[in-house]
Amino acid sequence: MDFTLSAEQLLLKDSVARFAADQASARDHWKTFGELGWLAVGAPEDLGGFGGPVETLLLMEQLGRGLVISPFVAQAVFSGAILRAANRLDLLEESIEGRQRFAVAYEEPQARYDPARIETSARRDGDGWILDGEKVRVLDASTAAAFLVSADTGAGIALFAVPANAPGITLTAYPAEDGYDVANVRLANVRAGNDTLVGGLGSGLELLELGIDHASAALCAEALGMCAVMLEATVEYTKQRFQFGVPLSSFQALQHRMADMYVELELLRSAAYFAAMTLESESDPTSRKRGISAAKAQVARSGRFVGQQAIQLHGGIGMSEEYKVGRYFKRMTLVERLLGDRDYHVRRYIELARTPARQSVSV
């Protein structure tokens, strides 16, 4: 298999790398993403889109290297994959042009990452629907103009594009451990018209799982960028820090630990590329979900190892807010748990091994 990047892919990678190095201090980059055309990654060509999962990987890897706080995964990759698969090109076009921002509200207090465990209900009311329920840990909710809400209609799980300012919606925002925007969303007698339905009544779960897989692959790429920086910073620190008159990098025991970090980083790199290639080529949803879960589980394991070793080899300074390794490891710890931790994805992988392959929603 040829892993050589095309001229267009190299251009994308270089442009994101320059942006991540120069603009990471700002908090909301949505307008800039739209101006640079990055919101169109993976979108249909007739909407001005280009590329796919590999381009998303290249973009997210560089954002991870720069530790750029952005809603790209939640509001571009996650929601974009759902809208694309549901053929809601009208909403997707608004998102690409930066006129509308969507956050996916699917996780519930009792669900433990499982998108199928839904207590939020949608009942018929005339020519529309009434939604009731609660969603937790909605990513980048505060800046979203609408939520893609999963609800049980009695005839299956459906997704509804509900305006964030609709009567009956209560938003409880709070910062995550790494400073990202997170919120709980309460829906009480929220009215949604038939035009807010995203996909069919029975396709909501498949669309949601597809979006989760695309977002999980993007998080794997972000983790790759962060862990690469943590290893580079550790190697550089041990060259500059002296003990007993010699640099720390001269001690064989520390060399072995950094070699182990490099091995785990390469395993993580392989997992991130495997996730992107799975989305690029796999139409069978069972194989797709198994591939993503395998990648996410490996990324969680390798990312934790690289981060912990980086902190220990830096010593006390590695835990400080002022030093970058601590901030990178904090974000890596969150990425490890977002959209399913390692235990969840290992269980998912095993359960899917017993599931026969079938054709379903794909992009």
Clarify whether residues 184 and 300 are in a common domain. no
Taking only the tens place, the pLDDT of each residue in 46-85 is: 998 999 999 999 999 999 999 998 899 999 999 999 999 9
What secondary structure does DSSP assign to 77-108, as a single string?
A: IIHHHHHHHTT-HHHHHHHHTTS--EEEE---
Clarify whether residues 33 and 165 are in a common domain. no
Clarify whether residues 259 and 346 are in a common domain. yes
Clarify whether residues 46 and 88 are in a common domain. yes
Clarify whether residues 240 and 347 are in a common domain. yes
Among 58, 73, 96, where does a domain finish? 96
Pairing, β 197-198 against β 102-105: unpaired
Q: Is residue 1 part of a domain?
A: no
Clarify whether residues 78 and 159 are in a common domain. no
Q: Is residue 286 part of a domain?
A: yes
Clarify whether residues 67 and 107 are in a common domain. no
Region for residue 123 given its phi and psi (left: phi exceeds 0; alpha: psi -120 to 50; beta: otherwise):
beta
Taking only the tens place, the pLDDT of each residue in 132-144 is: 999 999 999 999 9
Clarify whether residues 196 and 222 are in a common domain. no
Confidence at 358, pLDDT banded by 50, 70, 90: low
Taking only the tens place, the pLDDT of each residue in 237-282 is: 999 888 888 888 888 899 999 999 999 999 999 999 999 999 998 6
pTM for the model stands at 0.93
**How large a percentage of the chain has pLDDT more than 90?**
75
Q: Is residue 2 part of a domain?
A: no
Clarify whether residues 255 and 327 are in a common domain. yes
Clarify whether residues 67 and 47 are in a common domain. yes
Q: Is residue 37 part of a domain?
A: yes
Look up the domain containing 27 and give its range: 7-96
Q: Is residue 359 part of a domain?
A: no
Among 201, 216, 238, where does a domain finish? 201
Clarify whether residues 216 and 307 are in a common domain. yes
Residue 129 maps to which CATH number? 2.40.110.10
DSSP code of residue 47: G
The whole-angstrom separation of Cα 122 and Cα 158 is: 8
Among 167, 201, 235, where does a domain finish? 201
Q: Is residue 362 part of a domain?
A: no
**333 CB contacts (<8 Å, ≥6 apart)?**
177, 178, 304, 307
CA end-to-end span of the chain: 22
Averaged over 199-203, what is the pLDDT? 87
